[in-house]
Amino acid sequence: MTTRAILLPIGAAALPAVLVGGTLWFFGVAWPFGVAAAVVFLAGALAWTSRTGTALPVYPTARTDPRPGTRSDFVQTAWSLRGRHGEIADAGLKRLRSFARRRLARRGWNLDEPAHAGAIRAALGEPAWSTLSRSDGVRISDVEHCLNVLESLGKTGEHHP
């Protein structure tokens, strides 16, 4: 264990301990009692640190990406499809491409692999391929068409209009 790893929790606990003792003294408590309260606070903080192994209590971190199909997933998707001037925002295109990657992976195709581009273009058709490969100027009708083609992509890899 490094010196920094030892001193950091002590320093992090010492400042609030001094504040506790000083606040008590400021509001009229005798200074020996304020010092004792600061020492008890410091001891409690260090005991907590030694028990948990961290300087601060551990709180669970919130997931940044929602689970697929949850309400927040739908809300984020709806907002990502709302761009300026009727065009889809970048977040919406990322979600569309993510869906396309999952759907095309069922056929063994990778959307990012140049060798698979010809087969994907032939299976999806030019309008859907154009929607997946563009980065701007994509409208909601283009996304709807692309999703319809991706969803109709059968087990044979051919789409059924």
Report yes or no on 37 lying in a domain. yes
Classify 123 as helix, strand or coil.
helix
What is the reported pLDDT for 59? 58
Q: Which two tokens stand for residue 33?
A: 């009692």
Residue 19 pLDDT greater than 70, yes or no: yes
* Digit-coded pLDDT (tens) for 59-115: 566 666 666 666 666 677 666 676 667 777 787 888 888 888 988 888 889 988 889
Q: Which two tokens stand for residue 61?
A: 């971190």
Whether 100 and 143 share a structural domain:
yes
Whether the Cβ atoms of residue 114 and residue 99 lie closer than 8 Å to each other: no
Domain holding 27, by residue range, is 3-52
* Digit-coded pLDDT (tens) for 112-146: 888 998 998 998 999 999 988 887 778 888 888 88
- Kindly list the distances between the CA atom of residue 38 and the CA atoms of 15, 31, 43, in Å, as whole numbers in the listed order: 10, 10, 9
Q: Count structural domains, the chain.
A: 2
Whether 77 and 32 share a structural domain:
no
Whether 29 and 89 share a structural domain:
no
Q: Give the span between the Cα atoms of 137 and 10, in whole angstroms.
A: 57
Half-sphere exposure of 148 (CA within 13 A, CB side): 10
Whether 47 and 77 share a structural domain:
no
Whether 79 and 26 share a structural domain:
no
Half-sphere exposure of 127 (CA within 13 A, CB side): 11
Whether 26 and 95 share a structural domain:
no
What is the reported pLDDT for 70? 66
Classify 2 as helix, strand or coil.
coil
